[in-house]
Structure 1
Amino acid sequence: MLLEINKINLPPGQRVLLTDVNWKEFEAILEDLCEHRGARIAYDNGTLEIRKPLTEQETGKVLISNFIEILLEELDLEFCPLGSTTFKNQVMAQGIEPDNCFYIKHEAAVRGKDRLDLTVDPPPDLALEIDVTSCTHTTIYQGLGVPELWQFDKGTLKISLLQEDGTYQEGDRSQIFRNFPLTEVIPQYLNQAKTEGRNKTMKAFRAWVREFLRKL
């Protein structure tokens, strides 16, 4: 199987699906793919997806991550962004690489760690997926216990919150940024960045956050 993985050359926006992949093979594939980290993986009970993001996915990931960081900075919340870190749990037979993720409430628990093990470490508090070409693997995030999942697709931001029964429920507000109407505002600022540029947009977004907090 490793020989086949070495031969895979995915163009942006494409994916390959492998079935009947056991955990040992999954671990070996992850190691084999370490030199090709332009790809993202998702593993769920023997089924492995390898996909290559489009340029617009990468742009959206960076901009939305910047918005999240500005919110956290203005709220004076310590955080740790871990990008497309591979999160996996052998007991659950699941693994995922989000487009980005953030430790916020549990930042201190993972501070300074080079490797994370979700059998003992907490999952990230927020995961972000920019989903242009393939389905988002909601069940994997549920299984790993990620409290909040943001999905941005076709101009729409969807926020899903983990419930006590272990399933997601879509909400109109983030649990981390409770009062902010982010599903409305973030798509607006993403569109603004397309015409006015990144720096001007970030300054405008920060000013909006500060004004919003002032009015609370």
Structure 2
Amino acid sequence: MVTLQLKQIDVLPGQRVVLRHVNWQLFEAILAELGEHRTIRLAYSKGTLEIVAPLPEHEQSKVVIADLLKVLLDELDMNWEPLGSTTFRREDMQAGIEPDECFYIQNHALMIGRERIDLSTDPPPDLAIEIAIASSTQLSAYEALRVPEIWRYQNRQLQVYVLSEGRYIASSTSLIFPDFPATEGISQFLALSRTAGTRPALKAFRTWIKEQLRSQERSSKLGEQF
């Protein structure tokens, strides 16, 4: 048997390394050896470990999507707690995942000031954002940890997946924003950020949200008249 140390493995940007037959104790040891300050991300499900090194385009997209989401939550007067790429794991489920970004929204109050999370007693994040997720290991880990909603951005398309009976299904509507065209707006202004810059796109998105809310209010008042 050939044994390699982690420091002997280089994962280049945009590449993915898959290790099989990795038990939970080894997964925990790898997490400890790699530490928290790293650029690579891990996904673990039932003995399969994936190590991914994101590209710069990947990182820019996830940051801008997260910033747009925060603007939306703010304008809708909704509270949130961002947990970034926190490592979420449960030994009993043999699953671990590090989202590109994640948010507690419905359960935000439980996370205020928290420095440690135990998914055996704490809820998973309400929303995870993944850029170009194409891995069965990642999806299996999310399903095992019961994250209710994933936003997947791939090929410049933002798609919503919601957990239904333990599996993710594509949805035209977000669970968190059932009455607002959230992903439509975020897709539009994410595209704008590539030509106009991030700050102008965020400002324009805020204006667009207010226009949408005024339009909804007018429609509601009109409906009450009939």
Quickly name the TM-score band, shorter chain normalised. over 0.9
Alpha-carbon separation, structure 2, partners of 1:131 and 1:203: 26
Query: Once the two structures are superposed, what CA deviation does each residue of 1:68-127 show, in whole Å capped at 9, x if it has no partner?
Result: 101111111111101100000100000000000000111111221111111111000000
Unaligned regions of 5+ residues in structure 2, if any? 217-226
Percent sequence identity over matched residues? Answer: 47
Matches within 5 A, 1:56-75: 56-75=57-76
Q: Which residue of 1 aligns with 2:169?
A: 169
Which letter maps to 1:82? L
Match of 1:211 in 2: 211
Distance in 1 (CA, whole Å) between partners of 2:92 and 2:72 is 35
1:170, distance to aligned residue in structure 2 (A): 1.2
Superposition deviation, residue 184 in structure 1: 2.9
Kindly tell me the number of residue pairs found equivalent between the two proteins.
214
Root-mean-square deviation (CA, aligned residues, Å) is 1.7
2:70 and 2:163 map into 1 onto residues whose CA distance is 22
Contact between 2:185 and 2:205, CA under 8 Å: does it hold in 1? no
Q: TM-score, normalised by structure 1?
A: 0.94
**Equivalent residue number for residue 32 of structure 2:** 31
Change (3 A) 1:116 1:2: farther
Determine the C-alpha separation between the residues in 2 that align with 1:63 and 1:2: 40
Q: Distance in 2 between matches of 1:115 and 1:185?
A: 33
- 2:222 match: none
Q: Which moves more between the two structures, 32-41 or 68-77?
A: 32-41
After TM superposition, give the deviation of residue 33 of structure 1 in Å.
1.1
Match status 1:122 vs 2:98: no
Q: Could you say what secondary structure the match of 2:199 adopts? A: helix
Q: 2:69 touches 2:186 (CA, 8 Å); kept in 1?
A: no
Unaligned runs of 5+ in 1: none
Return the TM-score normalized by structure 2: 0.90
- Aligned residue number for residue 191 of structure 2: 191
Give the Cα–Cα distance (whole angstroms) in 2 for the partners of residues 210 and 150 of structure 1: 23
Contact 2:83 / 2:103 at 8 angstroms: preserved in 1? Answer: yes
Find the counterpart in structure 1 of residue 141 from structure 2.
140
In structure 1, the residue matched to 2:56 is: 55
